[in-house]
Amino acid sequence: GQNIDQPTEMTATEGAIVQINCTYQTSGFNGLFWYQQHAGEAPTFLSYNVLDGLEEKGRFSSFLSRSKGYSYLLLKELQMKDSASYLCVFMDSNYQLIWGAGTKLIIKP
Amino acid sequence: IAGITQAPTSQILAAGRRMTLRCTQDMRHNAMYWYRQDLGLGLRLIHYSNTAGTTGKGEVPDGYSVSRANTDDFPLTLASAVPSQTSVYFCASSEGTSGGADTQYFGPGTRLTVL
């Protein structure tokens, strides 16, 4: 079967760094996305990885290891507005998106 | 530029009633999607459309129907609502390129309560 695992909730301090991990099991893989979703709002695209390695985009970076079925989202210089849920999503062999339940990130001053 | 809009924003509905959730995009995207989001679960795909005139079933299609008469509109109909259909419904669209980072853009959602 296909499955995604990510922590339900994490807490971090403003100005710090946090890493949100995601593991997945799938028979076919065509890429991994991270989306951000603020409470009561729609998900918005953050990043896409299809090859192994680190993709950096400003304060956010996303890493992928296809052999390990593992990805992480790294957020630097945390700001209060980063309080949100972060959704790990992979694209299966049929190009369908399989969504994780999300990690709720709480930022404290 | 509106992007993607949904209506209504929220709705309380009696069980057994028929309801259509509306979704319109102005980005000329080929593909459109309907998801439901329930607490503790990932987004689940209800129906999708790769291009105008075609539709397909997602992970949880039972009790829902869709149509795609043109590029812009993708309504979702609940023929006879049941309480288990209480959820937040998101419509999304994407360019629909085969393979690669076909990023999906989401509407603001419809919060539906079925009593």
**In this structure, are residues A60 and A46 in contact, taking their beta carbons and an 8 Å threshold?**
yes
Question: Would the pLDDT of B40 be above 90?
Answer: no
Residue B17: pLDDT band (50, 70, 90) is very high
Residue ranges of E strands in chain A: 3-5, 9-13, 18-25, 32-37, 44-49, 53-57, 60-65, 70-75, 84-91, 97-99, 103-108
Sign of dihedral through CA atoms B16, B43, B95, A42?
A: positive
Which residues of chain B neighbour A99 with C-beta distances below 8 Å?
Answer: 35, 42-44
What does the pLDDT read at residue B100? 61
For the ranges A37-41, B8-12, B94-98, the lowest mean pLDDT is seen at B94-98
* Average pLDDT score over residue span B37-50: 93
Nearest to B90 among A33, A42, A95 (CB): A42
Percentage with pLDDT > 90 across chain B: 87
Distance from B82 to chain A by nearest Cα, in Å?
A: 23
Neighbours of B58 (CB within 10 A): 18
Concatenate the DSSP letters of all residues of A43-56 into one string: -EEEEEE-SSEEEE
Do A48 and B101 make contact, defined as CB atoms within 8 angstroms?
yes
Distance from B28 to chain A by nearest Cα, in Å?
A: 19
Strands A44-49 and A18-25: unpaired
What does the pLDDT read at residue A23? 96
Residue B98: pLDDT band (50, 70, 90) is low
* Average pLDDT score over residue span B53-64: 95
Interface of A with B (CB under 8 A): 4, 30-31, 33, 41-45, 48, 50, 87, 89, 95-102
Between A and B, how many residue pairs show a Cβ–Cβ distance under 8 A?
A: 45
Cα-Cα-Cα-Cα torsion B67, A30, A99, A97, nearest 10 degrees, comes to 0
What does the pLDDT read at residue B1? 57
For the ranges A8-22, A84-98, B48-62, the lowest mean pLDDT is seen at A84-98
Distance of CA A79 to the CA centre of its chain: 17
* Average pLDDT score over residue span A21-28: 91
